Amino acid sequence: MRKIVAILIVLLLAASFFAGCKRDAGTLIGIAMPETHVLRWVKDGNSLRDEAVTRGYRAEVQWADADQRIQNQQVSSFLTQGAKALIIGNINDGVGSAVAEASREGAIVIAYDRIIQGTHDYGYYITFNNYKVGQLQGQSIVDGLNLDAGTAASPRHIALFAGSPTDANANFFFQGAMDVLLPHIERGVLTVAGPFPRHYSEPAFQQIATEGWRADIAKARMEGLLIGDARAVVLDAVLAPNDTLGRAIIEALRADARYHARLPVVTGQDAEFDSIMSIKNGEQYSTVFKDTALLAAAAIILADQLLSGTAVDVPGTILAEGELSEIGFTGTGYVNTLLLDPILITRDNLNVPVDAGFFSEDEAAQIMR
Ligand code: BGC
Instruction: Indicate whether 295 and 276 sit together in one domain.
Output: no
Instruction: Indicate whether 237 and 298 sit together in one domain.
Output: no
Instruction: Using the 3D structure, point to which of 254, 289, 324 is the last residue of a domain.
Output: 289
Burial annotation 309-323 (CB, 10 A radius, 16+ → b, else e): eeeeebeebeebeee
Report the nearest atom of ligand 1 relative to the CA of 167: 7
CATH number at residue 76: 3.40.50.2300
Report the nearest atom of ligand 1 relative to the CA of 130: 8
pLDDT at 293: 97
Instruction: Indicate whether 92 and 54 sit together in one domain.
Output: yes
Instruction: Indicate whether 156 and 284 sit together in one domain.
Output: yes
- For residue 250, the cross-strand partners are none
Rama region for 213: left / alpha / beta (φ>0; ψ in -120 to 50; rest): left
Structural domain for 167, as ranges: 130-289
Per run of 10 residues, the mean pLDDT along the chain (length 369 residues) is 48 41 71 97 98 98 98 98 98 97 97 97 95 98 98 98 98 98 98 98 98 98 98 98 98 98 98 98 98 98 97 97 96 97 98 98 98
Give yes or no for a contact between 189 and 156, defined as CB atoms under 8 angstroms apart: yes
Report the nearest atom of ligand 1 relative to the CA of 292: 9
pTM for the complete prediction? 0.93
pLDDT at 247: 98
Instruction: Indicate whether 311 and 274 sit together in one domain.
Output: no
Instruction: Indicate whether 268 and 167 sit together in one domain.
Output: yes
Report the nearest atom of ligand 1 relative to the CA of 37: 12
Instruction: Indicate whether 157 and 250 sit together in one domain.
Output: yes
Instruction: Indicate whether 138 and 118 sit together in one domain.
Output: no
Which of 133, 169, 243 to mutate for ligand 1's pocket (most ligand atoms within 8 Å of CB)?
169
Q: Is 31 helix (H, G, I), strand (E, B) or coil?
A: strand
Instruction: Indicate whether 211 and 278 sit together in one domain.
Output: yes
pLDDT at 2: 53
CA neighbor of 246 nearest in space, from 163, 144, 362: 163
Instruction: Indicate whether 200 and 333 sit together in one domain.
Output: no
Whether 303 is in a domain gets the answer yes
**What is the distance in A from the centroid of ligand 1 to the CA of 246?**
13
Spatial distance between the Cα atoms of 191 and 99, rounded to a whole number of angstroms: 43
Instruction: Using the 3D structure, point to which of 289, 322, 354 is the last residue of a domain.
Output: 289
Task: Tell me, using a 6 A CB cutoff, whether residue 270 lines ligand 1.
Answer: yes
pLDDT at 14: 45
Instruction: Indicate whether 295 and 280 sit together in one domain.
Output: no
Task: Tell me, using a 6 A CB cutoff, whether residue 247 lines ligand 1.
Answer: no
pLDDT at 8: 43
Segment (H or E) for 25: helix 2-25
Other beta carbons within 10 Å of 341: 14
Give yes or no for a contact between 107 and 85, defined as CB atoms under 8 angstroms apart: yes
- The order of strands in the sheet holding 108-112 is 58-63, 28-33, 85-88, 108-112, 124-128, 337-340, 318-319
Structural domains of the chain, count: 2
pLDDT at 123: 87
Other beta carbons within 10 Å of 101: 16
Spatial distance between the Cα atoms of 245 and 66, rounded to a whole number of angstroms: 15
Whether 363 is in a domain gets the answer no
Instruction: Indicate whether 103 and 221 sit together in one domain.
Output: no
Whether 10 is in a domain gets the answer no
DSSP codes of every residue in 281-346: TTSS--EEE--HHHHHHHHHHHHHHHHHTPPP--TT-EE--GGGGGGGB-SSSB--EEEE--EEE-
